[in-house]
Amino acid sequence: MRHGVPGPANLRASLSIGSLAPPAVIAEDDFGPDDFGQAIDWKGSPVKCRECDHQAINAMGLCAKGKACIRDRRARRVERFLQENPGLADQYLDHPYFEVRAGAARHANLFLLPPLLKDPEAEVRAMATLRLPEEKIRKMIEDEDVDVRIAAASRLQGRDLLPAMGDNEYMVRITAVRRMPPELLPLVRHDPDAEVRAWVARRIDKPALPDMGFDPDPSVRRIVAERLPLPQLAMLIADSDAGVRLIVAERIAEEELEPLLDDPEEPIRDIARQRIGQVESLHYLLEPGRRVVAFPAPDADAEAPSRSPNPDEETNP
């Protein structure tokens, strides 16, 4: 019986029984169209391994048509090739296909990347921006392409991020705000986008935080309520947003909870009652008729109930 050279289907079996024969080279015909999909190069022609300069590494299993191929038009296959063969990246930095240049920029020698900052394709410029030292990429924060500017904002620091504050794309501003020194954040606390202001509220120094308690967006004010020092939380106790008041109810000192006993939202009233009930000296606040209504009733003309005097307080003559 004739024994053929092991192909992909029986190669593993031949190795598992301890065969001393080296595995056969996996040729392009070993992969059918259903294995990895059609292999087309960047010009639209079928990929043919026999026309490639890398037949030697193909023989070593370091590339494969339709899976890991520098000539394929699919970026994922190009990237797989370069992951397996990073030492070849330098020679592809000037390839006519931008996906190859972008992939090569991910693996190539850093000293060869500066020219790519002027590449006509944004994807290539962005990859070079992500890898080069900060002093080389300062001008990229003003690139015409938003992805390049985002890449620059993700790398730059300090005052180099100032140009991003006026960027018309909010993702550039968010990326910058997440890296910006806290002392610069007051400059962007009035950004037109609430998501940017939310990041400012998360990172800004606490002395500058109270000003953001007047932000028009409740999601920003909730972050402020979570970070404000306890003595300053009272400024949000009558906030129009129930979420803000809920955070206040959970954090504020028990002695300042009395207005929330009459909150329009039952969960907030419950938290106020529970927390006050845990402080024996404040139990008198839970007695009937001892309420300060901080939130007006639906009838604005209705007279708010007056607060009964505290028997423990001294009466002024």
Single-letter residue type at 78: V
Domain boundary among the residues 77, 108, 139 is at: 108
Tell whether 72 is covered by a domain: yes
Around Cβ 299, how many Cβ atoms within 10 Å? 7
Residue 275: its pLDDT value, please? 96
DSSP one-letter string for the chain: ---PPP-HHHHHHHHHTT--SPPPP--GGGS-HHHH---BBTTSSBP-GGGSTTHHHHHTTS-BTTTB-TTBSSHHHHHHHHHH-GGGGGGGTT-SSHHHHHHHHHHS-GGG-GGGGG-SSHHHHHHHHHHS-HHHHGGGGG-SSHHHHHHHHTT--GGGGGGGGG-SSHHHHHHHHTTS-GGGGGGGTT-SSHHHHHHHHHHS-GGGSGGGGG-SSHHHHHHHHHHS-GGGGGGGTT-S-HHHHHHHHHHS-GGG-GGGGG-SSHHHHHHHHHHHHT-GGGGGGGSTT-----S--SSTTSPPPPPPPPTTSPPP-
Q: Is residue 268 part of a domain?
A: yes
Q: Is residue 219 part of a domain?
A: no
Which residue, of 51, 86, 108, is where some domain finishes? 108
pLDDT of residue 63: 82
pLDDT at 60 (0 to 100): 83
Give a yes or no: residue 36 inside a domain: yes
Give the pLDDT score at 289.
67
Which of 75, 130, 84 lies closest to 103, judged by CA?
Answer: 75
Contact 217, 243 (CB under 8 A): no
List the CATH number of the domain containing 78.
1.25.10.10
What pLDDT score does 166 carry? 93
Domain boundary among 83, 108, 133: 108
Residue 166 forms part of a structural domain: no
Is position 170 within any domain?
no
| pLDDT of 156 | 97
Predicted pLDDT of residue 3 = 34
Encode pLDDT of 105-139 as tens digits.
999 999 999 999 999 999 999 999 999 999 999 99
Number of domains forming the structure of the chain: 2
* Sequential pLDDT tens for the chain (317 residues): 333 333 333 323 332 323 333 333 334 443 444 345 688 888 888 888 888 888 888 888 888 888 889 889 899 999 999 999 999 999 999 999 999 999 999 999 999 999 999 999 999 999 999 999 999 999 999 999 999 999 999 999 999 999 999 999 999 999 999 999 999 999 999 999 999 999 999 999 999 999 999 999 999 999 999 999 999 999 999 999 999 999 999 999 999 999 999 999 999 999 999 999 999 999 988 887 665 544 554 444 444 444 444 444 444 44
In a domain, 157, yes or no: no
Q: Could you tell me the residue range of the domain that residue 82 belongs to? A: 23-108
The total of other beta-carbon atoms located within 10 Å of residue 288's CB is 6
- Asked if residue 229 is part of any domain, the answer here is no
